[in-house]
């Protein structure tokens, strides 16, 4: 069987021989027979749901940030806990933007409001500030039975939608309507819900086509695989800080047209995994292209607070689109935001929203109907989002501490982003664009031909081999660039910039030693 072993983990590959496949087929059948029940006539009953009969689109889903390397990292953690000796003492998980898991402290004000919502008896506790009590009381008054445990409206708690609309209006200087705001379980659910509206349910070149950036966050390819949609890949320009060119958009659209019905373009700004911040000119060009091609715009703007580079600035697609005037201001747009990123990092609370702009009223009716089938998203996540869009104001008792915590997080991310890109650029064979925003670096690695051939022999990408070796040698868990997409013949990996400064310094020191040894081994 063509499988690569890393500890107890087997990574099966497509490089199986006919003999391998026959053995696997016999093994699967034998296993199914052993697990199947016996019918009344003594015949073996097959499973109703088997690998060959399950939804084929689900089997195509891949999600690199929780893939085989991450599974192996979990195994190594258990081995360390059991006392096994390694070349390292702990696993550094730099594979996913999970802020609190890497040591970021929760915002005190946000947690105070949540505590008050969950246990209203704390309103009598004088240690809780009045501005936290006021927000919790207002939120609970909009909940059924004044309880966070009640279902909310399918679109979300009314006061949260009102506060989100006010936040957007103040951010952009453009009015926002609470009726266009829909709360969800993180931004991911909103993205999936909107993409679902565009599906054709047809096969072949009648499938819906959705333009996605390469490199991209694997949510998009995973969702398009599940929905049987056609990914229209457009490449970001690494030589120009991962910017986006209209010529590349036109190339990808021209190549895709014979294979699908193009419906939408997705843009991630600031970028994941690439950490770039789009200029206003870039955004205008994208809007003009989308108008020319009659495409719906999905703006993934969950990192809107994470902008670090001098001269970089976040511009929302809605603001730019509206300021461009007609006909661009009449285009269809969905903009997404989350509690998981920014300076908050409340990933586990699963709060998020989508603002829908210029959609057909009849489509909105159907969207609401689909949401109602799910009842509502987590009300705790909605409470967290309410704090983010309605934080303490100057003069309120919690304002100074809130601002101090917020600025500390953002300043440290800026420092760590520069530290990481500078370190990678100091190593021969690695180049890394400046981390302008978001929470990641996406360095390019020049992998020797011998290493590429070794990876091919194992049926994996060369950067996957690099990342597996990095994990086994140093305990650092990063994600190979092949999991995000990249230009053919180039190799990358994504790492977060989240670990504490001292831990990151140690990590970067280890990394340099590992890279030198890897290059020596395969030179």
Span 160-188, pLDDT tens digits: 999 999 999 999 999 999 999 999 988 88
CATH number belonging to domain 64-103+412-522: 3.90.1150.10
Count of beta carbons in the 10 Å neighbourhood of residue 89: 8
The answer to whether the Cα torsion of 287, 178, 367, 228 is positive or negative is: positive
Give the pLDDT score at 152. Answer: 92
Could you tell me the two tokens for 115?
A: 């505590």
Instruction: Tell me the pLDDT band of 59, cut-offs 50, 70 and 90.
Output: low
Lowest mean pLDDT across 178-192, 243-257, 475-489: 475-489
- For position 96, what pLDDT does the model report? 81
pLDDT at 143: 94
Q: On the CB side of 379, how many CA atoms lie within 13 Å of its CA?
A: 21
Q: What local confidence, expressed as pLDDT, does residue 30 receive?
A: 43
The average pLDDT across 430-451 equals: 92
Cα gap 110→225, rounded to integer Å: 36
pLDDT, residue 20, reads 38
Q: What is the pLDDT of residue 25?
A: 40
Confidence of residue 17 (pLDDT cuts 50, 70, 90): very low
Q: What is the mean pLDDT of the chain?
A: 87
Domain 106-150: which CATH number of 1.10.287.1970, 1.10.10.10, 3.40.640.10, 3.30.230.10 = 1.10.287.1970
Q: 250, exposed or middle or buried, with CB in 10 Å at 0-12, 13-18, 19+? A: middle
Please tell me the distance from the alpha carbon of residue 234 to that of residue 10, in angstroms, as a whole number: 33
- Residue 23: is its pLDDT beyond 50? no
Return the domain boundaries, the chain. Answer: 64-103+412-522, 106-150, 152-389
Q: Is the pLDDT of residue 476 over 60?
A: yes
Read off the DSSP letter of residue 53. Answer: T
Match 């059948």 to its residue by tokens.
Answer: 29
Two tokens at 502?
């001292």
For residue 351, what are the contacts with CB-CB under 8 A and spacing of at least 6? Answer: 183, 185, 186, 338, 339, 340, 377, 378, 380, 381, 382, 383, 384, 385, 388
pLDDT bin (cut points 50, 70, 90) of residue 313 is: very high
Comparing CA positions, the residue from 253, 195, 204 lying closest to residue 224 is 195
Residues 196, 227 contacting (CB under 8 angstroms):
yes
Comparing 362 with 19, the larger pLDDT belongs to 362
Q: What's the pLDDT score for residue 504?
A: 80
Burial of 300 (0-12, 13-18, 19+ CB in 10 A): buried
Between CA 463 and CA 482 the distance in angstroms is 7
Q: Is domain 152-389 in CATH 3.40.640.10, yes or no? A: yes
- Give me 24's structure tokens: 């696997």
Q: Contact 467/70 with Cβ under 8 angstroms?
A: no
Is residue 235 scored above 80 in pLDDT? Answer: yes
Alpha-carbon distance of 271 to 105, in angstroms, equals 24
The pLDDT tens digits for 139-160 are 999 999 999 999 998 899 999 9
Confidence of residue 39 (pLDDT cuts 50, 70, 90): low
CB 475 within 8 A of CB 389: no
Q: What is the pLDDT of residue 6?
A: 53
Beta strand ranges found along 315-403 (DSSP E): 333-338, 351-357
Which tokens is 106 given? 């929760």
The secondary structure of the chain in percent helix, strand, coil, rounded to multiples of 5, reads 50, 15, 35
Please give the Cα distance from 271 to 438 (Å, whole number).
6
Q: Which tens digit of pLDDT belongs to each residue from 111-137?
A: 999 999 999 999 999 999 999 999 999
Query: Vertex 237, ends 235 and 241: CA angle to 5°?
Result: 135
Question: Stretch 30-49: mean pLDDT, rounded?
Answer: 58
In terms of DSSP bridges, do strands 430-431 and 296-300 run parallel, antiparallel, or are they unpaired? unpaired
Answer whether 377's CB lies under 8 Å from 185's CB: yes
Predicted local confidence at residue 395, as pLDDT: 95
Per-residue pLDDT, averaged over 498-508, amounts to 82
Tens-digit pLDDT profile for residues 314-359 = 999 999 999 999 999 999 999 999 999 988 988 888 899 999 999 9
Predicted pLDDT at 88: 85
pLDDT band for position 61 (cuts 50, 70, 90):
low
Q: Is the pLDDT of residue 255 over 90?
A: yes
Position 86 pLDDT exceeds 90 = no
Q: At what angle do helices 361-372 and 186-197 cross, to 10 degrees?
A: 130
The whole-angstrom separation of Cα 331 and Cα 295 is 9
Give Cα separations from 389 to 136, 171, 192, 441, 520 (angstroms): 14, 10, 23, 27, 51
pTM: 0.85
CA 235 to chain centre: 18
Q: Which of 266, 253, 251, 192 is nearest to 227 (CA)?
A: 192
Closest CA to 193 of 205, 185, 203: 185
């Amino acid at each position: 069987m063509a499988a690569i072993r890393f500890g107890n983990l087997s990574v099966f590959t497509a490089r199986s021989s006919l003999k391998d496949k026959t053995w696997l087929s016999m093994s699967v059948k034998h296993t199914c027979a052993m697990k199947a029940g016996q019918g009344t006539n003594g015949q073996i009953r097959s499973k109703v749901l088997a690998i060959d009969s399950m939804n084929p689109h689900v089997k195509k889903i891949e999600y690199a940030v929780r893939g085989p390397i991450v599974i192996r990292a979990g195994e190594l953690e258990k081995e360390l806990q059991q006392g096994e000796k390694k070349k390292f003492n702990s696993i550094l998980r730099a594979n996913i933007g999970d802020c609190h898991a890497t040591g970021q402290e929760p915002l005190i004000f946000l947690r105070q409001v949540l505590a008050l919502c969950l246990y209203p008896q704390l309103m009598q506790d004088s240690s809780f500030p009045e501005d936290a009590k006021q927000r919790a009381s207002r939120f609970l008054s909009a909940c059924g039975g004044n309880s966070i445990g009640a279902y909310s409206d399918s679109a979300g708690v009314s006061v949260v939608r009102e506060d989100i609309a006010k936040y957007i209006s103040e951010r952009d200087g453009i009015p926002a309507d609470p009726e266009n705001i829909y709360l969800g379980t993180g931004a991911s659910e909103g993205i999936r819900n909107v993409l679902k509206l565009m599906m054709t349910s047809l096969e072949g070149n009648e499938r819906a086509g959705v333009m996605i950036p390469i490199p991209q966050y694997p949510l998009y390819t995973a969702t398009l695989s599940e929905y049987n949609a056609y990914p229209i890949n457009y490449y970001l320009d690494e030589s120009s800080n991962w910017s986006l060119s209209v010529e590349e958009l036109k190339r990808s659209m021209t190549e895709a047209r014979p294979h699908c019905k193009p419906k939408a373009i997705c843009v991630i700004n600031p970028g994941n995994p690439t950490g770039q911040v789009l200029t206003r000119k870039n955004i205008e060009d994208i809007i003009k292209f989308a108008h020319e091609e009659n495409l719906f715009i999905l703006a993934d703007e969950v990192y809107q607070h994470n902008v670090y580079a001098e001269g970089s600035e976040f511009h929302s697609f809605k603001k730019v689109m509206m300021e461009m005037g007609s006909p661009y201001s009449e285009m269809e747009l969905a903009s997404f935001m989350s509690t998981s990123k920014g300076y908050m990092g409340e990933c586990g609370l699963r709060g998020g929203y989508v603002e829908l702009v210029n959609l057909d009223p009849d489509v909105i009716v159907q969207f609401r109907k689909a949401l109602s089938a799910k009842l509502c998203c987590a009300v705790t996540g909605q409470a967290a989002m309410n704090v983010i869009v309605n934080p303490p104001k100057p003069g309120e008792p919690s304002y100074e501490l809130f601002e101090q915590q917020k600025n500390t997080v953002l300043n440290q991310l800026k420092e760590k982003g520069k530290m990481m890109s500078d370190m990678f650029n100091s190593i021969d064979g690695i180049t890394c664009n400046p981390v302008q925003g978001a929470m990641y670096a996406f360095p390019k690695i020049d992998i020797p031909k011998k290493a590429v051939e070794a990876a091919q022999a194992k049926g994996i990408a060369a950067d996957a081999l690099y990342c597996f070796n990095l994990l086994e040698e140093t305990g650092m868990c990063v994600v190979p660039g092949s999991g995000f997409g990249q230009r053919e013949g180039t190799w990358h990996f994504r790492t977060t910039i989240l670990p504490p400064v001292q831990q990151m310094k140690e990590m970067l020191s280890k990394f340099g030693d590992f890279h030198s040894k890897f290059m020596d081994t395969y030179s």
